[in-house]
């Protein structure tokens, strides 16, 4: 069987990867502590794929408490070279409504106080090139896998990463719209930047669970609505990941 190449990080509502067979569980420690939970490593066709639930399999970790450094380092230590991040988000602009899957190509970081680098004061800091925050070639591979699997995915868009865990105000979303954001989530950073520091090819599939504050007359956002929309938008993910793993 081939070595691990692809890792998938699941967000809110995605706590397992249904396509995985012959699953092995690994509990890892890293120099940055323990990851959010066990790594589930299994087979998709002839490919070995690792899966990690970002918030823990029982969703115990809010976005600002996730140990992003440990998560990425654990995936790197398993041998993964490509990381597909599944992020549950809100939609801001018209093409990014509930139940849409999107593969953004840009990112704005509004988070604060998170461990955003592997540099801990020893040696020279690493200033990585981050002009294109998602690895362009890998992002194209994700889009190609989606087309081959017949899964509709919106190509492009800007992800705005907010601190959380509270949802945003109408005014904050209005500012993000003016800044050029199409999507809003709480886990896109520092994850993408840390992946770049480790030399991992990293791309995001954003699962739109609801309209962001003030973007629709939908009333108060409920958890039941969010989870229903995540389930609907995620229905084609096993086929997409299978195609991606083959490549």
Convert the pLDDT of each residue in 200-222 to its tens digit.
999 999 999 999 999 987 567 77
Which residue's entry shows tokens 């929309």?
A: 229
237-246 and 136-149 helices, crossing angle to 10°? 120
CA 79, 137, 247, 13 dihedral sign is: positive
pLDDT of residue 221: 72
Domain coordinates of the chain in residue numbers?
4-246
pLDDT of residue 200: 98
Kindly report which listed range (3-12, 60-69, 167-176, 211-220) carries the lowest average pLDDT score.
Answer: 211-220
Which residues have a Cβ under 8 Å from the Cβ of 63 and sit 6 or more positions away? 55, 163, 164, 165, 186, 187
The binding site consists of 12, 54-55, 186-187, 210-212
Domain 4-246: give its CATH architecture.
3-Layer(aba) Sandwich (3.40)
| pLDDT-derived band at 247, boundaries 50, 70, 90 | confident
Query: Does residue 57 surpass a pLDDT of 60?
Result: yes
Across the chain, mean pLDDT equals: 93
The binding site for phosphate consists of 12, 54-55, 187
Torsion-angle region of residue 194: left (phi > 0), alpha (psi -120 to 50) or beta? alpha
- Segment 46-54 shows an average pLDDT of 92
Query: If you write DSSP's letter for every residue of 72-101 in order, what string do you get?
Result: HHHHHHTT--EEEEEEEEEE-STT--TT-E
Query: Does residue 29 surpass a pLDDT of 90?
Result: yes
pLDDT of residue 4: 86
CA dist 191 and 169 (Å) reads: 24
- Segment 47-52 shows an average pLDDT of 93
The binding site for substrate consists of 186, 210-212
46 or 219, greater pLDDT:
46
Residue 189 and residue 87 in contact, taking contact as beta carbons nearer than 8 Å: no
Query: If you write DSSP's letter for every residue of 31-70 in order, what string do you get?
Result: TTB--SS-EEEEEETTEEEEEEETTTTTT---GGG--HHH
**What is the tens place of the pLDDT at every residue in 174-201?**
999 999 999 999 999 999 999 999 999 9
27 or 247, greater pLDDT:
27
Distance from the Cα of residue 104 to its chain's centroid: 11
pTM: 0.94
Query: Does residue 34 surpass a pLDDT of 80?
Result: yes
pLDDT of residue 2: 54
| pLDDT-derived band at 1, boundaries 50, 70, 90 | very low
pLDDT of residue 218: 56
Return the percentage of the chain with pLDDT > 70, whole number.
98
Which residues have a Cβ under 8 Å from the Cβ of 70 and sit 6 or more positions away? 30, 32, 33, 34, 35, 36
Q: Pick the closest to residue 179 from 187, 168, 195 (CA basis).
A: 168
**What is the tens place of the pLDDT at every residue in 140-165?**
999 999 999 999 999 999 999 999 99
pLDDT of residue 120: 82
């Amino acid at each position: 069987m081939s070595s691990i190449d692809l890792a998938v990080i699941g967000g809110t509502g995605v706590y397992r990867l249904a396509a995985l067979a012959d699953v092995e569980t690994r509990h890892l420690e890293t120099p940055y502590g323990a990851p959010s939970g066990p790594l589930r490593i299994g087979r998709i066709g002839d490919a070995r794929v690792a899966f990690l639930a970002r918030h823990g399999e029982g969703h115990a970790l809010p976005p600002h408490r996730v140990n992003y450094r440990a998560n990425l380092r654990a995936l790197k230590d398993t041998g993964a070279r490509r990381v597909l991040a599944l992020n549950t988000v809100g939609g801001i602009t018209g093409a990014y409504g509930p139940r849409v899957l999107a593969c953004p190509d840009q990112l704005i970081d509004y988070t604060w106080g998170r461990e955003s680098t592997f540099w801990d004061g020893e040696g020279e800091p690493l200033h990585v090139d981050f002009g294109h925050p998602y690895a362009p070639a890998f992002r194209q591979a994700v889009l190609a896998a989606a087309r081959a699997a017949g899964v509709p995915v919106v190509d492009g868009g800007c992800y705005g990463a907010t601190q959380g865990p509270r949802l945003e105000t109408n005014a904050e979303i209005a500012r993000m719209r003016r800044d050029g954001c199409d999507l809003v989530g709480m886990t896109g950073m520092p994850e993408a930047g840390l992946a770049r520091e480790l030399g991992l090819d990293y791309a995001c599939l954003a699962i739109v669970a609801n309209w962001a504050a003030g973007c629709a007359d939908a009333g108060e956002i409920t958890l039941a609505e969010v989870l229903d929309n995540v389930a609907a938008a995620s229905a084609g993910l096993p086929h997409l990941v299978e195609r991606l793993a083959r490549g």
